[in-house]
Amino acid sequence: MVVKPYQIPSESMEPTLDVGQRVLVNRFLYHLRDPQVGDIVVFHPPQGAETGGQGQCGDPSTGAGGSSGSACAQPTSEKSDVNFIKRIVAGPGDTLSIRDGHPVVDGELANEGFIRPCRPGGACNLPETITIPPDHYFMMGDNRGASDDSRFWGPIPRDWLIGKAFATYWPPDRVGIF
């Protein structure tokens, strides 16, 4: 199927996407072009991410991010069979640090008026710069204080990406294209 529906399972993408909201995902687009920073994508996270426990670089339940004040730089080798939905905030070769929950990519602070602010803790400020490996993408949920994401388990390989979310179709009052 080129387009497939998915339901939002958690609050990690609020306020952009609410729990229970349904989106349509283009599963073919990334065969034609590279994923872009800002894309909302469905992907397979690393094994263990689905339990919400400690990732290879930190613990989302305590807000502790990577070691030495950096986001997790090392990709995890085993993928999970579940699906997550997050936003790409950095791509291959980009340098990244986190300031007040916002990515600083190649020295530029991202302008993200759409996010839910980060709550105080180690994953809101990760000032040490990392470099995203070739063919990998760094994912973050829009609800920065309630998202288990690449800050804890590292960048995601391109071949773990399922597709780009492009529209919402449920509930009726939230139907739209993004």
Q: Report angle CA 59, 165, 84 to the nearest 5 degrees.
A: 25
What is the tally of structural domains in the chain?
1
Tens digit of each residue's pLDDT (9 = 90 or more) over 81-101:
999 999 999 999 999 999 999
The tens digit of pLDDT for each residue in 23-43 reads 999 999 999 999 999 999 999
Per-residue pLDDT tens digits of the chain, which is 178 residues long? 799 999 999 999 999 999 999 999 999 999 999 999 999 999 999 988 877 655 667 655 444 555 558 899 988 889 999 999 999 999 999 999 999 999 999 999 999 989 998 876 658 899 999 999 999 999 999 999 889 999 999 999 999 999 999 999 999 999 999 8
138 lies in which domain range? Answer: 3-177
Tell me, what CATH number does 148's domain have?
A: 2.10.109.10
What integer pLDDT is reported at residue 121 of this predicted model? Answer: 63
Q: Which residues are catalytic?
A: 12, 86
Rounded distance between C-alpha atoms, residue 151 and residue 95, angstroms = 14
97, 106, 168 from 34: Cα distances, Å = 22, 19, 22
What's the one-letter identity of residue 49? A
